[in-house]
Structure 1
Amino acid sequence: MQFRQVQATLHSWFGIVVLWSVFLIFFTGSIAYFRTEINLWSKPENFLYLKASPSSLESAQVAYDYLNTHAPDAKRWRVNLATSRMPFNTLEWQDQTSKYHKLQDPNTGLILTEGRESLGGDFFFKLHYSLYPLPDVVGRTLVVIVGGLFLIALITGIFTHKKIIKDFFVFRSFKGQRTLLDLHHITGVVTLPFYLIMAFTGVMIFFYLLMPMGIHQQYGENGIKKFYSEIQYSNVPKPAEDSGIQLKEFSIFSRQLPQQGSNGAVLEKFEVKNPNTAEALITFDYGYNKLITFNNPQFIFAANTGKNLSSERNLHPVAQISSATYGIHLGYYASQWMRWMLASLGLIGCIMLVAGALLWQRKRIKQHNKLSYTVVSYLNYFTFLGLPLATAMYFLANRILLASLEHRVQYELFIFFMSWIGILVIPMLVKMQKAIVLAFILTAFILWMTVFSPIFLSPQAFIFNTLRHQQWSVAGVDLVFIFIATGYIFACYYFRKIKMREVAK
């Protein structure tokens, strides 16, 4: 067997083994680029408080004062400050018994308690990297194994297509298997750099799950935290003197902080470890503007004296590679237009996966292998049509479930997974071709319902009102739903046109 034939075989089998899992990972990862906007969209009761945010230092002052009053004995505070994407402070703290997560109006200091309980966009982020709600270690291990196999499928795919550049400029429509092959080539070439980088960095981030022995040998059984602490700082800052236990006023720190970091970014978050103890430290982090690595401007103070502590970033090449790996994959550096580009590449790559799966399915027809054809056709339907439908149902559930419903998050997740599994009933009742058309129509209908249901349930969240008040982050989510629903209707029409041509032949 020739080298290229070996690569083609590896590409086919490694690809088909992980294809459906990869679709889930990249589909949810693409959505997760906008999880902040989705988080805001998912709590329409808070839209009444949407207004221009104060400066980042003023927002930090409001959050600091609230936590020092209401959570003085917490183990730590974490605060993400209000931005144009999320115009509320996000407060997190932990005491001896519980963890707390609250939204705060940075203008008034008011804690927003009326918002409905929802994971919002965080659900897709968790599903992307840990297959939530699986146990964290199990989910991450499965994701990194799938990522490694997919990386092999990508590399072998490069060797398989010897005319990869030439084929990029060829697309034969309405030609059945040739059309799928051309679509697979074109979308593959467009997204190849993106998918290679994301698959590689994703595997590198969770390297310790595939190769844990080095970490265990050097740092002990649970040494991953020690490893990341060492790789981030050359020396970990600590209070150098007995400084009492009372936190200093916020103005002591703000006077020592610049309005902008060295990269032009503003203050984005701060964290206080062991507040109101002798070991209290406060860390201020500026944004990742134009920075791929995690070496963003940072200032660390002894929280009880206001003394600026020296903290040297670890600039060793290995530390820089690790930091860049995280930065590239998570995309914190990305501006608004770049997030759109990254998400679009992720979804275009999903089209590549769909075309590849349908190619494999058609080859099973030629080989008259009914069992593998049936299994693959149902898996394709379940994944490529079921996951978008379940996603649409998740968003609709956010709008139609009562805001005061207890265990509301669990109901949203139940609706998501039951919708996903339930779609398999459709091809059991009707022929697969009709089932595909019905899935397109049903998904489009659910998205339209999601957009227009607030007319009766939460008028402040209706798209006409959010557009009128220039609440672009919120309105943008609904506009995307309208665009996708319209695209699904066109896809339905295109699919029927293809089938009519096949019947005519």
Structure 2
Amino acid sequence: MSRSTQRVWAARVAVAVLGSYGLAALVSVAALALPGRTIDGVVAGMLISFAVASAVAVVVFAARAGARGGVRPRVSWLHTWAGLLAAWVLYTVFWTGSLAFYREELTAWMQPEAPPQARQVDVAALSDRIAAHLTEAAPGATRWSIELPDVRRLTPTAYWSGPDNDGAQAFDSLTGAPRFARATAGGEFFYRFHYQLHHLPYRWGRWIVGIAALLGLVAMVSGVVVHRKLFADFFTFRAGKGRRSWLDAHNALSVLPLPFHFMIVYSGLVILGFQYMPWGALAAFDGADKRRAAIAAETVATWPAGTPSGQAAPLAPLAPLLRQAEQRWGGQGVDRVVVHHPGDTAARVLVVRGSAGRVTHSREFLLFDGHSGALLQASGPVGTPAAVLGGLYALHLGRFADPVLQAICFLLGLAGTAMVGTGLVLWTAARGQAAGPRFVARGNVAVLAGLLFASAAYLWANRLLPVDVPLRPEVEIRCFFAAWAMALGIACLLRPARAWPLLWSASALAFGALPLLNVLTTQRPFWRSLATGDAVFVGVDLACAALSACLCVMAVHAQRRATRPP
């Protein structure tokens, strides 16, 4: 490539990056001119801005269609490099995000001494039992927050805060008694890792993930432009054809789940959109406090705590308040109960609606007088842009899903993981032994195979670490990163042809042996869980066995390629 061509491409990249974000920022501000409330324009502008940014980037590279080569080669270059720059982060996000669809179930599996929790419970009666415990255990608390069980959340948990201390306690979903089990980071680690990484300031992690997500959105839009036979590619797979097989696999994994991948990446951007695209809110509201209050009032179920009166008064029973909410929202419609100033005449009880029976995360709540139990306020409808944002939030989390739809979302997330992985392998296979591709090839081994090995090590650490080890959740996470660092060392020391089968085999063994480890370290082996209908332990054991089988296939394939004569 000549220097003049390099300068042209550098200029085109600069225009694509700066122009796409700059125009998107202008659109987010221009949306304030839309008729309606100011906050509606702020939210609408943020929602539109990310679509504008990805479209502008593609248009910049598709410009001058009549030039030599036409549109597709230019957009193909964008597709390749946007995907490559974001690929390692996107692979990590897709994998940990897929596991996060089962974060409650993973946490329950990682606390085997706790009895199985019922999914159908009387949350109204349960709330009174938990409130009675909090009255005794946290007498000086100024705020309670009680997360109640639903079809997805297995374990009720109460949090309290006050001038004396803060705390949290899990409860049995049937009896309301305090529930004690080993400390663990559980599935929450994968959930938080998928949008803010770890061992980084959380804002940095969110920016890294956000930039990768925007590049991923650009790669998907440009990928649609590039493929002439988009849907025909899904039905085409030529096994044993080397690079052609990787391309067929990449196309197949990209086409059918494409709507899901668009949704999951775009919704992930807009959920944290006011961090990435704050310009509309900055133009609309003076001061950070006003901005936060205006956005929270439209998107979050919250209420000002108010000032305590200083006069003691018993808290009204919570059960009647929750039954009023259930009459409005249906059974298991309550997500949590927040109590401000319990034990004071100025107490307020906020009952927040959950995601059961609705595909939206839009805020909806009832506010009660905590002393008399009188209904003070019911939340009104949110604006259309906030309703769209709430719907995207709900689709991203998937908490409304029944077990079948939950499994489908999980498998589609794994398809996204494999889509990114096959794209990386395809890129290195097409570029031979140059220095850049060699670096990427070793990084692929560390990220693609190493991340799975680290995930298995994390689950092993949960079973093997002493129950009373100090800072146990953090030690589990350190084991995860230690295993990942080991995988990186293997990738650096061995040629990729040797490292791939080694790490795939190690991961297959680690996941495949987890059900046996569960037999040796807990009282809930597979056969007993199957006999008692313990869906969580049965499901995790079966998922580990299925994943182990897939990794065995990958290991065998990698070993055959390593031993194939050049």
TM-score, normalization by structure 2: 0.81
Contact 2:333–2:357, Cα closer than 8 Å, also in 1: no
Q: Match for 1:102: what amino acid?
A: Q
Structure 1: runs of 5 or more not aligned: none
Shift in Å, 1:76: 1.8
Partners of 1:258 and 1:78 lie apart in 2 by 17
SS in 1 for 2:189: helix
Partners of 1:255 and 1:40 lie apart in 2 by 26
**1:290 equivalent in alignment to 2:357:** yes
SS in 2 for 1:282: strand
Match of 2:197 among 102, 119, 131: 131
Partner of 1:378: 442
Shift in Å, 1:77: 1.4
Partners of 1:101 and 1:487 lie apart in 2 by 39
Between 102-111 and 290-299, the greater mean CA deviation after superposition: 290-299
Contact 2:147–2:336, Cα closer than 8 Å, also in 1: yes
Alignment of 1:164-179 (within 5 A): 164-179=230-245
**1:204 equivalent in alignment to 2:270:** yes
Shift in Å, 1:246: 2.1
Partners of 1:174 and 1:151 lie apart in 2 by 31
Contact 2:325–2:366, Cα closer than 8 Å, also in 1: no
Q: Match for 2:261: what amino acid?
A: Y
Partner of 1:405: 469
Between 425-434 and 316-325, the greater mean CA deviation after superposition: 425-434
Contact 2:515–2:541, Cα closer than 8 Å, also in 1: yes
Partner of 1:43: 111
- After superposition, the C-alpha distances for 1:45-87 in whole angstroms (9 at most, x for unaligned) are 213x656864121211211221122223223212122346554
Contact 1:239–1:302, Cα closer than 8 Å, also in 2: no
For the aligned residue pairs, the C-alpha RMSD in angstroms reads 2.7
Contact 2:299–2:363, Cα closer than 8 Å, also in 1: no
- Alignment: residue pair count: 497
SS in 1 for 2:175: coil
- After superposition, the C-alpha distances for 1:400-447 in whole angstroms (9 at most, x for unaligned) are 000011111121111101110111232445442232111122112212
Q: Match for 2:541: what amino acid?
A: D
SS in 2 for 1:164: coil
SS in 1 for 2:373: coil
Shift in Å, 1:317: 1.4
CA 1:337–1:159 in 2, change beyond 3 Å: closer, same or farther?
A: same
Partner of 1:151: 217
CA 1:42–1:449 in 2, change beyond 3 Å: closer, same or farther?
A: same
Partners of 1:11 and 1:19 lie apart in 2 by 11
Shift in Å, 1:249: 3.1
CA 1:219–1:342 in 2, change beyond 3 Å: closer, same or farther?
A: farther
Q: Match for 2:124: what amino acid?
A: L
Partners of 2:197 and 2:308 lie apart in 1 by 45
Match of 2:248 among 159, 182, 198: 182
**1:215 equivalent in alignment to 2:278:** no
TM-score, normalization by structure 1: 0.91
**1:14 equivalent in alignment to 2:82:** yes
Partners of 1:162 and 1:8 lie apart in 2 by 12
Structure 2: runs of 5 or more not aligned: 1-67
Contact 2:127–2:319, Cα closer than 8 Å, also in 1: no
Match of 1:94 among 157, 161, 164: 161
**1:426 equivalent in alignment to 2:426:** no
Partners of 1:21 and 1:235 lie apart in 2 by 33
Between 447-456 and 155-164, the greater mean CA deviation after superposition: 447-456
Alignment of 1:84-483 (within 5 A): 85-96=152-163, 98-113=165-180, 115-217=181-283, 218-223=285-290, 225-232=292-299, 245-250=312-317, 253-254=320-321, 257=324, 259=326, 261-262=328-329, 265-295=332-362, 298-365=365-432, 368-369=433-434, 371-458=435-522, 460-483=523-546
Contact 1:22–1:146, Cα closer than 8 Å, also in 2: yes
Contact 2:339–2:349, Cα closer than 8 Å, also in 1: yes
Q: Match for 1:404: what amino acid?
A: D
CA 1:88–1:71 in 2, change beyond 3 Å: closer, same or farther?
A: same
- After superposition, the C-alpha distances for 1:430-486 in whole angstroms (9 at most, x for unaligned) are 44223211112211221233222233332x233233223221123211221111112
Contact 1:243–1:304, Cα closer than 8 Å, also in 2: no
Contact 1:265–1:288, Cα closer than 8 Å, also in 2: no
CA 1:81–1:243 in 2, change beyond 3 Å: closer, same or farther?
A: same
- Fraction of identical pairs, as percent: 25
Shift in Å, 1:245: 4.4
Contact 1:396–1:450, Cα closer than 8 Å, also in 2: yes
Contact 1:238–1:309, Cα closer than 8 Å, also in 2: no
CA 1:489–1:287 in 2, change beyond 3 Å: closer, same or farther?
A: same
Q: Match for 1:422: what amino acid?
A: M
Partners of 1:393 and 1:269 lie apart in 2 by 34
Partners of 2:555 and 2:322 lie apart in 1 by 60
Partner of 1:3: 71
CA 1:200–1:266 in 2, change beyond 3 Å: closer, same or farther?
A: closer
- After superposition, the C-alpha distances for 1:130-177 in whole angstroms (9 at most, x for unaligned) are 112321211112211111111111111111112112222211111011
Contact 1:263–1:297, Cα closer than 8 Å, also in 2: no
